[in-house]
Amino acid sequence: MNSPKEGIKIINEIALNKEGYTVSKTLILAFLAGAYVAFGGLLSIIVSGGSPGIAASNPGLARFLFGAAFPIGLILVVIVGAELFTGNNAYFIPNILTKRQRVYAMLKNWGLVYIGNFVGALFLAYVITHLTHLVSDTPYIDMVRKIAEGKTSHSFLVTFIKGIGANWLVCLAIWQGIAAKHTIGKIVAIWIPVMAFVTMGFEHSIANMYFIPLAIFEGADITWSTFFTSNLIPATLGNIVGGALFVGTPYGYLFGKTED
């Protein structure tokens, strides 16, 4: 296992490599990451949404099943390689603290990756899920609408705080994945925190780029403006705080000093 100090060195090199990607490479990798996360969302809907009896008798178990299926997306991002906005919220911070990279490089990456993630998630929502009618019938459609209605029903502050919790755990999952040296170890290390944040009901902006548009495509009474203002904007801001402030900053400060 890599120590925290060794892990930060790996993360620093990854962040430097990300800065060197061309715009087209960044966008393609971001599209793939958005799609990978959406695949996890679809699997969660099929597994948990297809178990209404369990949801009625044991809602905690149903939420665990939903959370247990979701992490395939981040596992693919880390193992296969892709650009995920929420993970990148923490990647660049240690290098910025030591002035190895500029804030501009981070913001450029975040902007391109956010766009690519959105396109990838929408592609999975409309083409792979909606057009194939995978969730158009009960009980799946009930869960699709319930998820979206729940995610757009909270105040800005509540969704923002839930966004912090989500990306705090997502970035810790990536940190743990980097600490592990073998594929099975990486899978387990990533799975546990991601399963936890989904089961607990936190808000992940990229996942929501799939869940809520899918519900809109499937006829839910939710507008695009409601999606943006009631969920995506506060969740995104919370994700940035969770990744940059609660993971990238403390670990970069504690273990990222180049003189060591």
Mean pLDDT of the chain: 96
pLDDT of residue 256: 84
With bands split at pLDDT 50, 70 and 90, how would you rate the model's confidence at 40? Answer: very high
Helix segments in 50-139, DSSP class H: 52-57, 59-69, 72-76, 85-91, 93-97, 103-123
Q: Return the number of other C-beta atoms located less than 10 Å from residue 86's C-beta.
A: 30
Task: Please name the residues in contact with 20: beta carbons below 8 A apart, sequence gap of 6 or more.
Answer: none
Q: Return the number of other C-beta atoms located less than 10 Å from residue 127's C-beta.
A: 10
For residues 144 and 219, the answer to whether their CB atoms sit within 8 Å is: no
> What ranges do the domains of the chain cover?
4-254
* Tokens 């695949």 -> residue: 39
Which CATH code for domain 4-254? 1.20.1080.10
Q: Give the three-class secondary structure for 58.
A: coil
List pLDDT tens digits, range 201-242. Answer: 999 999 999 999 999 999 999 999 999 999 999 999 999 999
Residue 260 clears pLDDT 50, i.e. is over it: no
List pLDDT tens digits, range 154-205. Answer: 999 999 999 999 999 999 999 999 999 999 999 999 999 999 999 999 999 9
List pLDDT tens digits, range 124-151. Answer: 999 999 999 999 999 999 999 999 999 9
How many residues belong to the chain? 260
Q: Which amino acid is at 225?
A: S
Nearest Cα neighbor of 179 from 196, 195, 192, 165 is 192
pTM listed for this prediction: 0.95
Q: Give the three-class secondary structure for 41.
A: helix
pLDDT of residue 258: 57
24 CB-contact burial (10 Å; exposed 0-12 / middle 13-18 / buried 19+): exposed
